[in-house]
A and B are shown apart, each in its own frame.
Chain A
Amino acid sequence: AQRVTQPEKLLSVFKGAPVELKCNYSYSGSPELFWYVQYSRQRLQLLLRHISRESIKGFTADLNKGETSFHLKKPFAQEEDSAMYYCALNTGGTSYGKLTFGQGTILTVHP
């Protein structure tokens, strides 16, 4: 069965420090992974997807199939990055809404 694990419920860093939010997955098929973010009082929104190999708001994430990981990184955290971050695995093939979510990590960036 598929599973997404985010080992850290809470993560605190100071502004300007590097940040890494960990995500590991378990899936027998070819994984398609995403990071979603939820800012305070806002809805869940897509941050980035591994297929696009993009950098959004300074965040990057590399899929490591050997370690079954998809960690989210940013070299210099900003206060506005404080939010809940979810790692998600697509298990629906071409239907990209069939997602399995991790438990989420609350990132707090202190001034």
Chain B
Amino acid sequence: GAVVSQHPSRVICKSGTSVKIECRSLDFQATTMFWYRQFPKQSLMLMATSNEGSKATYEQGVEKDKFLINHASLTLSTLTVTSAHPEDSSFYICSADGGLETQYFGPGTRLLVL
């Protein structure tokens, strides 16, 4: 079956630094990928839709300058958390549109900002 990977699986960084998270579709092409955020014991919240070759579409309340998304190829989308602060600590999950009403989720990336 289709597989989506994320790298890194967990990252710890200092406040003020930027962190890049990669989302890759390993055996299929995805023109659309999605980035979600999950707080502890809470549900997934869609942050943005990443479209290959065009600008990402952000959900209301999500700062586009804070969470930079780049979808440079059909198999890779990146999320960069710029000038990270402790409140950005969270679990970030990506998914890829596999077509036929199916999307495939990555395993998630745990971000801890000290």
Docked Cα-Cα span, A51 to B45, in Å, equals 23
Is the beta-carbon distance between A98 and B43 smaller than 8 angstroms? no
Q: Does B13 sit within 8 A of A, measured CB to CB? A: no
Assess the A86–B95 pair: CB atoms within 8 A: no
| Given known contacts A43-B105, A43-B108, A45-B105, A96 and B97 CB-to-CB distance under 8 angstroms | yes
A-B contact count (CB 8 A): 49
A49 touches B32 (CB 8 A): no
- Total interface residues on A, CB under 8 Å, equals 20
The 7 closest A-B pairs by CB, nearest first: A97-B34, A44-B105, A97-B103, A101-B43, A101-B44, A43-B107, A103-B43
Query: 23 A-B contacts, Cβ less than 8 Å apart?
Result: A32-B101, A43-B4, A43-B106, A44-B93, A44-B95, A44-B105, A51-B101, A52-B101, A86-B44, A95-B49, A96-B97, A96-B101, A96-B102, A96-B103, A97-B33, A97-B49, A97-B103, A98-B46, A100-B46, A101-B44, A102-B43, A103-B42, A103-B43
